[in-house]
Structure 1
Amino acid sequence: MNTTLKIISLLLTYPTEELKEGLGELAQALRSDEKLGDRQRRLLLSFIDDLAPKDLFDLQERYVFLFDRTRSLALHLFEHVHGESRDRGQAMVDLMATYEAAGFEIGAKELPDYLPMFLEFLSVLPENEASELLGQTAHILAVLKERLRKRKSVYRNLFIVLESLALGKPDRALVKELLQHPEDDPADLEALDAVWEEEVVTFGGNSGENSCGPDRLQRQIRAAARKPADVSAQASL
């Protein structure tokens, strides 16, 4: 298991009491990970240090304001390159097929391109393969990093590390083009209502079943905190 990718996938999810309780274990796992560079470790530990003392309600409010009410910061990868076009649906199908080919079962009630889920998938791949697939999203990671920088958000730390783990550099022209798209206002409730009126799409027959809640999250935290195991899978995007 790639410990760093697994931990970032957890840190990018909606903050819960279970996640807060597991921050110490995650921090210890990062300190023990010999593959992690000093700067990467500092950025991730700084992020954990930011979360740890804060009130859970404040953390949840910040998260929702950033990622749920700001579409330009959406954690769904294809949102940034396909929007609501027909191409997004095909991209979802292709990614779902990639998961299935690798034996990765989606147990969360989320779309396949949800970034924390994608990172969880990458965490069980061989390191070079995970780095290559992550590199295919480098332009999106760079855009999200820059938008979070403008907001002076500590979540930027996570994207700096992700970008450093990806194989290759983001296409500067594409990043510039994506950054030119207007950023929505999370305080615009009418625009938010319009987003929520869109139909929710579910992939996988058991999507959401036994997938959320404290038991699963605590298992994930313990798994991420343990010494990485050698897990192999084959996939392509």
Structure 2
Amino acid sequence: MIRTFRALSALLTYPDAELQAAIPDIRQVLEDEQLVARETLEPMLTRLETGKLLDLQVDYVDLFDRTPRLSLYLFEHIHGDSRERGQAMVNLHALYQRHGLEIGGRELPDYLPLFLEFLATRPLDEARALLGETVHILAALRQRLEERDSGYALVLQALCGLADRPPAPQALTKLRDLPDADPETLDRAWAEAPVTFGPACTATEQPIIFDRRKPSTAPS
């Protein structure tokens, strides 16, 4: 179990009294595993630990629930609400199940904190490689949060540092510049080879797409 991924997952969840009480434990995990520098996250840790809970909750909702460009649902940034997002989530859910992770009915598989919980169960090299497949999304989120002077940018910065590769500049630029929830623009911008992650697919398994593909020209 890579507890750092679980700690970062917790920091990206809706703040409540339980999270505030867990901040000392999160600090200790970061110190013990030394995968990210605790000092870089300290401003956000302190804010979550000592801030007024209602203010923290309002800020969280304004950022992640009311701002599509900051959504913590990874596939929204590359598939929008298209049919491809549904299939991508089915494939990601299947990946979780193959490795023994069962999720409840309330959460979608592409929710970033849930994805990090899954990574916590994988060997470090594999987790870093899987995270690397999403690094262009994480880097775009980090930049957007930095533009809002949000401490959550520090969490995304830590995740980018854990990935096994930097974001490809072209992919990051395309994703960063996309307008909110515009499927036609997403189709044009991501008309290139898809990126998949996970083990090689069998005849019955489908790749998980973390880039936008060309829309099908077949009639519906």
The TM tier, using the shorter chain, reads 0.7 to 0.9
Q: Which of residues 169, 176, 179 is equivalent to 1:179?
A: 176
What's the offset of the Cα at 1:134? Answer: 0.4
- Are residue 110 (structure 1) and residue 98 (structure 2) matched? no
> 2:29 aligns to what?
29
For each residue in 1:80-128, what CA deviation from the matched residue of structure 2 results, as whole angstroms up to 9, or x when unmatched? Answer: 0000111111101110110010011113611100000000000010000
SS at match of 1:153: coil
- Tell me what 2:187 maps to: none
- Partner residue of 2:126? 129
Corresponding residue SS for 1:9: helix
1:130 Cα deviation after fit: 0.4
Please provide the CA RMSD for this pair.
1.5
1:8-34 CA deviation, whole Å, 9 max, x = no partner?
00110000111111111211222222x
- Of residues 79, 82, 86 in structure 1, which corresponds to 2:83? 86
SS in structure 2 opposite 1:110? coil
2: CA distance, partners of 1:161 / 1:58: 24
TM-score by length of 1: 0.74
Maintained 8 Å contact 2:65/2:71? yes
Normalising by structure 2, we get a TM-score of 0.80
Aligned residue for 2:144? 147
Distance 1:29 1:92 in 2: 30
Give 4+ residue runs of structure 1 displaced > 3 Å after superposition.
none
Structure 2 Cα separation of the partners of residues 32 and 89 of structure 1: 38
Partner deviation per Cα, 1:49-83 (whole Å, 9 max, x = no partner): 12111110000000000000001100000000000
Q: How does 1:189-228 map to 2 (within 5 A)?
A: none
Q: Could you tell me which amino acid in structure 2 is paired with residue 81 of structure 1?
A: I
Opposite residue 52 of structure 2, the aligned amino acid is: D
AA of the residue aligned to 1:65: D
Q: Which amino acid aligns with 1:182?
A: P
Q: Which structure 1 residue ranges, 5 or more long, are not aligned?
A: 185-234
- When structure 1 is superposed on structure 2, of 8-17 and 106-115 the one drifting more is 106-115
Give the letter for the 1:75 counterpart: L
Unaligned runs of 5+ in 2: 182-197, 200-207, 209-220
For 2:27 and 2:104, locate their aligned partners in 1 and report how far apart those are by CA, in whole Å.
26
The aligned counterpart of 2:19 is 19
C-alpha distance in structure 2 between counterparts of 1:2 and 1:172, whole Å: 29
Q: Could you tell me which residue of structure 2 aligns to residue 48 of structure 1?
A: 45
Indicate the structure whose relative CO is greater, using CA pairs within 8 Å and at least 6 residues apart. Answer: 1
Q: 1:211 maps to what in 2?
A: none
Classify the secondary structure of the residue corresponding to 1:8: helix
Aligned match of 1:214: none
CA distance in 2, matches of 1:32, 1:102: 26
What is the aligned-residue identity percentage? 46
1:97 aligns with 2:77: no
Contact 2:35 2:162 in 1 (8 A): no
Deviation of residue 183 (structure 1)?
5.1
Letter aligned with residue 35 of structure 2 = L
Aligned to 2:194: none
Q: CA deviation at 1:45?
A: 2.6
